[in-house]
Chains A and B, each alone.
Chain A
Amino acid sequence: MPHLVDMASVIRSKNAGPLAISFDLMFPTEAAYSQAARSPSLTPTALSSVFDRPAGDIQVTHYSSALAIKITMPRSVVSGSPGDRDVYGAQQHLPLLGLHI
């Protein structure tokens, strides 16, 4: 099983407003996208253990026009509140890199 990091052309995170964080997985080919879109590793249930969050908080959207998958969940700390680690949310993608697809 390949790692996500070896299949995707972009794996990024960014706030979707200060209360939510969103992860974009973009793929270079239709084949890579389809393989990832079918993978049980990229379902809310599987991702709940990766992010230590309830599956019900995690929304996964397949976006075939852009060969991309989006994962969105509420932030655990509101952006910029005391104790936040990443105001823009742009460096939270690391836990996804090693996923087996």
Chain B
Amino acid sequence: MNAVGKLLSRRPSSLRVLSASGQLGYGIPEKALQAGLARRPDFIGCDMGSIDPGPAYLGSGVMATSPAVTRKDLALVIKAARSLDVPLVLGTAGTSGAGPHLDATLEMIRSIAQDEGLHFRMASIRADIPVERVAKALAANQLAALGGTLPVSLADLQSCTHIVGQMGCEPFDRALHLDPDIIIAGRACDTAIFAAIPQRLSFDMANVMHMAKIIECTSICCEPGGRDAMLATLNASGFELESMNPDRKATPLSVAAHSLYEQADPLTFTEPDGTLSVENARYTAIDNRRTHVTGATWEHASQCTIKVEGSAPVGHRAVLLAATADPRFIQALRDLLREVETTTRALVPGKYDIFPRLYGLDGVVAWPAAGAAPPREVFVLVEVIAPDQGLALAAAKTFKQFLLHQGFPRRLCTGGNLAFPFTPPELAAGPAYRFAVYHVMPVDEHETLFPVHLENV
């Protein structure tokens, strides 16, 4: 019997769940992890990904995290789980959880096992959704953009390099049936990482999902928040939360406030398998750094829905980095950018887009009106997106030279309008992507969409 089988056959009435990392690959604070292991958790979970870093990682198939740090983090949690002989559950492998991300992570795990002389049974779950399946939902008018507007056509779907579906608990549950030591999933709900095992052990689903929702971010629910390992203890009365860093306090207010984080609605959370409401949840201090939670409600969905995410290339990006400290140039800058764009388009023909951002003026927020006082310095970032890298760079180079020497009334700085921090100031940034799909669709065929593969490592 392996780690999952041993845990499931023990059927503990109180389950200790250790969340080791909210996004594996940036470094795991080791002191808190060790403190968590000393508490003998029944299983360890880690999220490895997020949609936050934008479309480039899903589009390219590359991880956002450094391979070296990712490998080190993986080694830490694998050795930890194996030393206690408890299940390790990892979700959203390699940042975005598409095939290349999962494969690269599996390769790392096999190499760690070899280096450390470890042997275990590993279940992996793929999350790549065939474009035809999403096209079928589109044709049936069953594809709904999530949280905003994102029109999508069949051509948009076909332009995606990767499309993933965010799995809920069902695929994890199928993996649990195979009695592995480690489960690693492609794109997955953060909650499913922590909810699948307690669900299988028949803990109350409302408490399970509420706990999962909070601890997937480790100690962010504490005051002060941080990335240290978080322990949840689940029993029939609800669950208790405790950070494994003694300086981080899980208070009723800090835990309740965590429901706000990265959510459109702080009271209701729609998951593939149902809806969690925390409207009537009760948060009670056990002491000054532990909180007991209960009272959420869970409504099981009659129809399972999953979120599908797809990223599509939009061309190649070049960026120009420059700055200015001349007050008259700063005053004229918006007009001059338009003039220089016209000049550039006349001299470098082709279809491309130019997006200037003026840091100090409107680089961060698209202000409807100018600020009261002009800034002393302005950083000029010009993004060019073109069908190929050569054209993007050509436009950026010409834009740079004409902006440097563009004349304007009452100009003082006839030596040049711009300060370049280094040369070349225009850089090739490689392929650029956009989210072309961020929609929910109803699904029934979990086994086809999220297949489980078992291997002995």
Residues on A lying within 8 angstroms of B by beta carbon are 14-20, 22, 24, 26, 52, 59, 61, 63, 65-68, 70, 72, 74-76, 78-88, 91-92, 94-95
Stretch of B4-12, B40-48, B52-60, B240-248 lying at the A interface:
B52-60
Given the known inter-chain contacts A16-B262, A63-B267, A72-B264, please indicate yes or no for A78 contacting B434, CB distance below 8 A.
yes
Residues on B lying within 8 angstroms of A by beta carbon are 51-56, 145-150, 253, 256-257, 259-267, 281, 283, 314, 317, 353, 355, 357, 363-366, 368, 383, 385, 432-435, 438
A95 contact set on B, CB distance < 8 A: 365
Alpha-carbon distance A68/B438, docked complex (angstroms): 28
Provide a sorted-by-A list of 29 A–B residue pairs whose CB atoms are within 8 angstroms: A14-B262, A17-B148, A17-B264, A18-B55, A19-B145, A19-B150, A19-B438, A20-B264, A22-B262, A59-B264, A59-B265, A61-B266, A63-B266, A63-B267, A66-B266, A72-B147, A74-B147, A74-B148, A78-B148, A79-B52, A79-B435, A82-B314, A82-B355, A82-B434, A85-B366, A86-B364, A87-B52, A91-B365, A92-B365
Chain B nearest CB, measured from A50 CB (Å): 10
A84 contact set on B, CB distance < 8 A: 54
20 further contact pairs, Cβ within 8 A, besides A66-B259, A82-B432: A16-B147, A17-B146, A19-B149, A19-B438, A63-B256, A65-B256, A68-B266, A70-B260, A70-B265, A72-B147, A78-B148, A78-B438, A79-B52, A80-B55, A81-B314, A81-B434, A82-B317, A82-B385, A83-B383, A85-B366
Task: Please state if A70 and B266 are interface contacts (CB–CB under 8 Å).
Answer: yes
Given the known inter-chain contacts A66-B260, A80-B433, please indicate yes or no for A18 contacting B365, CB distance below 8 A.
no
Across the interface, name the chain A residue whose C-beta is closest to B54.
Answer: A80
Given the known inter-chain contacts A18-B438, A68-B266, A80-B55, please indicate yes or no for A85 contacting B364, CB distance below 8 A.
yes
How many contacts between A and B, using CB within 8 angstroms? 127
Across the interface, name the chain B residue whose C-beta is closest to A74.
Answer: B148
Alpha-carbon distance A18/B439, docked complex (angstroms): 11
Task: Please state if B435 and A18 are interface contacts (CB–CB under 8 Å).
Answer: yes
Alpha-carbon distance A69/B46, docked complex (angstroms): 30
B56 contact set on A, CB distance < 8 A: 80
Alpha-carbon distance A83/B314, docked complex (angstroms): 12
Alpha-carbon distance A88/B283, docked complex (angstroms): 29
B267 contact set on A, CB distance < 8 A: 61, 63
Across the interface, name the chain A residue whose C-beta is closest to B433.
Answer: A80
Task: Please state if B265 and A83 are interface contacts (CB–CB under 8 Å).
Answer: no
